[in-house]
Amino acid sequence: MRDERKTWIKSVRGGPSRYAEWEACGLRWLGEGSAAGGARVVEVLDSDSDGLVLERLVPVAPTVEAAEEFGSALAATHSAGAPAWGAPPEGWDGPGWFGPADRPLPLELGAWSSWGEMYAVRLASLTRLARDGGELTADEARDVDALGARCAAGEFDTGEAPSRIHGDLWSGNLMWTADGVVLIDPAAHGGHREADLAMLDLFGAPHLERIHTAYDEVRPLQDGWRDRVGLHQLYPVLVHAVLFGGGYARQAMGIVARL
């Protein structure tokens, strides 16, 4: 791989053989929206099976102005759309992954007819892993499965078309630079735009309410979206339960109980 000044090499050794390609494809797909006002995405300069060569980003302190600009840009990225619920980035023909590069979990991709059907499949996959690993009891797994069945039945569908989402938009995947917020480390696919906002809320993000306000001004959020934040957070929390155990399983079951 090319190594030049002002670049950063991200190693993915220890992960799936095509993980670097998956991430590079997602970054480029998200980056297609930048020219139309979408969020800026870190530039992929090169990649191979060991990792990626990316433009080097110099972090600065978050500002209100950058947060508002990012909120507006994220709405434009989402509006770039996707061909189906669960659709992979354009040009990708393999499995998807979600989580740390050295130990990601499978992210089911496909072409579901509704968000709820897609989400039910993904919850079921994680529930099996958590039950088999001892993070969830059999009764807890049944409760998650029951929620998944409600999703599959369309109870939480909002009637929107799939958006082009980052897919793993926790605050650590926002780089605050002198030129504004830059997206890194995606699990990009056709998904629900509320999922990206819920991920930002999961571990907290600087000036989050300013991001929300600016987003809503460009692409208004549907009524009740705040009530669905926990629903969208359930997937990443279950991923954390499978990978790290600890209190994440209790957090997941708290979400299920509230729903």
Q: Provide φ and ψ at 237, rounded to 5°.
A: -65, -40
**Alpha carbon distance 211, 74 (integer Å):** 9
The pLDDT value recorded for residue 11 is: 85
**Known catalytic membership, residue 168:** yes
The pLDDT value recorded for residue 115 is: 98
In the chain, DSSP finds a helix count (H) and a strand count (E) of 8, 10
Q: Could you say which residues of the chain have pLDDT below 50?
A: 1-5
The pLDDT value recorded for residue 49 is: 82
The pLDDT value recorded for residue 4 is: 47
The pLDDT value recorded for residue 5 is: 47
Could you say which of 139, 168, 179, 227 is catalytic?
A: 168
- Would you put residue 75 in left (φ > 0), alpha (ψ -120 to 50) or beta? alpha
The pLDDT value recorded for residue 3 is: 43
The pLDDT value recorded for residue 168 is: 98
**Interstrand relation of 51-55 and 44-48 (parallel, antiparallel or unpaired):** antiparallel
- Cα 204 → chain centroid: 15
The pLDDT value recorded for residue 13 is: 83
Q: Provide φ and ψ at 114, rounded to 5°.
A: -150, 160
Instruction: Copy the structure tokens of residue 235.
Output: 């997937």
The pLDDT value recorded for residue 246 is: 83
Kindly tell me the burial class for residue 1, based on how many C-beta atoms sit within 10 Å of its own C-beta (0-12, 13-18, 19 or more).
middle
CATH numeric code, 58-258: 3.90.1200.10
pTM (predicted TM-score)? 0.95
Instruction: Copy the structure tokens of residue 31.
Output: 């980056």
- Report the C-alpha dihedral over residues 138, 143, 144, 149, rounded to 10 degrees: 120
